[in-house]
Structure 1
Amino acid sequence: MSSPLGSVRRPEHTGDRRCWPCTVANSLVLVAVSVAVAFVSRVAALAVLVLGAVAIAVRGYLVPYTPHFAPALGAVFPVDFHEEPGPSGSLGREADGEDVLAALVAADVIVADGETLYLTDEFRERWRREVAALRELADGRFVAAVADAAPRASGARVERRRGHTAVVVEPDTGSVTDERRLAYPVALAEVGAVRALAGRVSDPGIRAAAAEPLRRFLETCPSCEGRVEETTAQQCCGAPTNPREGPQAVLACADCGERLATL
C-alpha cells in the first residue's frame, strides 16, 4: 500500500540531494508566517507550522521558485550549508591530448569516424572485466592497485566522510598539496582503464592520462552498474551551479547519482 505522501514526495530535492540554503530559507519563511497567523489563531498557526514542516521534509522546499532566491539568502549565513562535492580528480597528470588520442587509436581502443569517436567493443568488454574485478577487492588490495596505476605515486588510501568515499593518491614528493582525490567510482573506472590498456599502450604516463577522457565513454556505473546518462551538474534544488554560464553537462549514474565525467 502506497504512502499518502508518495504523490507529493520529491526525492530529487531531499535526502542526499537536499539543498540546505533552500531548507533554511523555507524554514525561516514558515516560522515568520506561523508567527503572523498566531496573532489571529494559535491553532491555525500550529497547523501551518506542522503542515509546512512536513512539506519541507518531503518536498525539499515549500515556497515556489525557492531556487531563484535561496542561494543569495544562503550566502549571507556565516556557514556554508552545501555538502562538500564528491572528489573529482584523476590518476593522470596533464598530457598532450593529441598524443593520448593517437596512442588510443593506434592501440585499437578508439575508432574515429569523422569527428565522432567510438570505443571499440573489444576494449569496452576488457575494461568492464577489469572494473568488475577491482570492485571485489578489499580496501588494502584496491589502494595498492590505485598506487600501481598512478604515475609518481608513493601509495594511496581510502577516506570515507560525509557520505562520500574518496581514494587519495599520495605523491612521491611527500607533499599533501600534490595529493589527488578521486571519487570511488572514478577510481574504479580509471584504474580499470589503465589495467585494460596494459599491453596495448607502453607508456605508463599515457595510460594514466588516457583514463580521464575514457570516462566519457562509460555506459554503466563502475560502482553500482546503473545506467550512465548525460545530465547537468545542478545545485540548490535544480538551479544551475553558475546561472551566468548555464548548467554544466556531465555524465552521471541514473541510479546512484554519482558524477562520472564532465563533458
Structure 2
Amino acid sequence: MATDTLRRYQDPEYTGTNRCVPCTLVNSAIGILLSGGIGAAGAIWATTAVGVAGAGVVLLLSAVSIYFKGYLVPGTPALTKRYFPPWLLELFGKEPAGAAAGVAKSAADPAVREETEEPAEIDLETYLVEAGALEPCRGGEDLCLTDPFQAEWNEAIERIRDADVGRERLPALLDTTAEEVTVEEHGSAFRARVDGQYVGTWESRGAFVADIAAAEVLGEWLDDWESVPVTHRGQLLNGLRLFLTTCPSCGGALAFGTDTVESCCTTHEVAAVSCEDCETRVFESDPVG
C-alpha cells in the first residue's frame, strides 16, 4: 500500500514501464561517485563522521530523485537519445527503434509469436487478394478493400466496440492461454508478452478492436484461417489496418501521415494512420528514413 502511494508521485514519462535503464544506471553511478566525493571531502576538511553523514545524505537524495523523476542529472534523457548508440541500448533491453510500438512505441507486428521454426514467407497482398479482402482500386494500381469484406469488417468492428469486448479476447488472437499473457500499458497503447517474448503491440484500443473484428471475418471467409501460423496472422491483421477508411473507435475519417515518436531513449519518425476526429492511432510503421 505504501509503495502504491509513493508511485503516485513518480513522473510517468520516465518511471515505471517507461523507465530508461541506461539513464537509471548512469545516474546511479553519478550519485555514488558524488556521494563518495562528498564523503571524502567531509572526512578531510572535518571529521570522518561528517564525511559519512554527508555521503549518506547525497546518496539518499540521489536515490529519491532517480526513483521519482527517473534521473538525477537534468537533461539525461535527451543526452541518452543523442549519444547512446543503438547497440548499447539493446544491451539494456531497449529494442531497436521500431521494435516496441506505440509506447512511445513503434510498431512490432501485432500477434507475432516467436516460434522454433520460422514458417515460410507469405505474400500478404496476394493472400488477402485471394481471400477476397482486397482488390485493385477503381481506376488505379493500388489495392482497396472489397465492398463485401469492408461491409462485414465494419459490422464486426461496430458490434465488438459496442459490446465493449476487451483483452479477454487477446489469448485467442495470440493462440495461447490467459495465464501465459502479460500485458504492459503505454498510455493508450499496450503490448503483450508470452514466455518473456513480446508478441504484439497495439497503438490503441481501436487498433485492437479492428484486429479482433478482422480475425473474425477472415475466420468465416477462410477454411484454413485457424491453420495460418500466428506470425502470419499478425502480419495480415496489421497490414489490413492500412486499408481502413473509418476509425474503429469513433467512425471518423482516417488520415495517413508521419509523426515523431519519442521514448526516454530514442526519437524517430514513423508513418502512421490516425483519426482526424478522436486522434486514435490505428497503425504505426517501423521508423522511416
Query: What TM-score results when the alignment is normalised by the length of structure 1?
Result: 0.54
Contact 1:134 1:188 survives alignment (8 Å): no
In structure 2, relative to structure 1, the CA distance for the partners of 1:78 and 1:248 (3 Å cut) is closer
**Identical amino acids, percent of aligned pairs:** 21
In structure 2, relative to structure 1, the CA distance for the partners of 1:160 and 1:138 (3 Å cut) is closer
More displaced 10-residue stretch of structure 1: 36-45 or 74-83: 74-83
Q: Distance in 1 between matches of 2:64 and 2:100?
A: 27
**Deviation at 1:57?**
0.7
Contact 1:131 1:192 survives alignment (8 Å): no
Contact 1:22 1:66 survives alignment (8 Å): yes
Q: Distance in 1 between matches of 2:109 and 2:146?
A: 28
Partner amino acid for 2:237? A
Contact 2:35 2:59 survives alignment (8 Å): yes
In structure 2, relative to structure 1, the CA distance for the partners of 1:52 and 1:101 (3 Å cut) is farther
State which of 129, 132, 136 in structure 1 corresponds to 2:159. Answer: 129
Contact 1:233 1:250 survives alignment (8 Å): no
State which of 154, 157, 165 in structure 1 corresponds to 2:192. Answer: 165
In structure 2, relative to structure 1, the CA distance for the partners of 1:251 and 1:36 (3 Å cut) is farther
In structure 2, relative to structure 1, the CA distance for the partners of 1:72 and 1:166 (3 Å cut) is closer
Which secondary structure state, in structure 2, belongs to the residue aligned with residue 135 of structure 1?
Answer: coil
Moved over 6 A (4+): 3-6, 184-187, 201-205
Matches within 5 A, 1:228-243: 232-235=260-263, 237=264, 239-240=266-267
RMSD of aligned alpha carbons: 5.1
Matches within 5 A, 1:238-253: 239-240=266-267, 246-249=268-271
Q: Distance in 1 between matches of 2:260 and 2:282?
A: 12
Matches within 5 A, 1:112-123: none
**Deviation at 1:247?**
3.2
**Structure 2: gaps (5+ residues):** 43-50, 102-107, 113-120, 137-142, 185-190, 226-232, 250-257, 275-280
In structure 2, relative to structure 1, the CA distance for the partners of 1:53 and 1:44 (3 Å cut) is same
Q: Distance in 2 between matches of 1:57 and 1:39?
A: 25
Matches within 5 A, 1:18-57: 18-41=19-42, 42=51, 43-57=53-67
Q: Distance in 1 between matches of 2:169 and 2:145?
A: 33
Partner amino acid for 2:146? A
Which secondary structure state, in structure 1, belongs to the residue aligned with residue 84 of structure 2?
Answer: helix
Deviations 1:214-248 (CA, angstroms, capped at 9, x unpaired): 43558567xxxxxxxx864434x1532xxxxx333
Q: Distance in 2 between matches of 1:96 and 1:77?
A: 34
**Deviation at 1:190?**
1.8
More displaced 10-residue stretch of structure 1: 210-219 or 35-44: 210-219
In structure 2, relative to structure 1, the CA distance for the partners of 1:220 and 1:24 (3 Å cut) is farther
More displaced 10-residue stretch of structure 1: 71-80 or 93-102: 71-80
Which secondary structure state, in structure 1, belongs to the residue aligned with residue 60 of structure 2?
Answer: helix
Deviations 1:56-115 (CA, angstroms, capped at 9, x unpaired): 1111111123232477389669953437947534589432389535374431666xxxxx
Matches within 5 A, 1:61-80: 61-67=71-77, 68-69=79-80, 72=84, 79-80=91-92
Query: What TM-score results when the alignment is normalised by the length of structure 2?
Result: 0.50
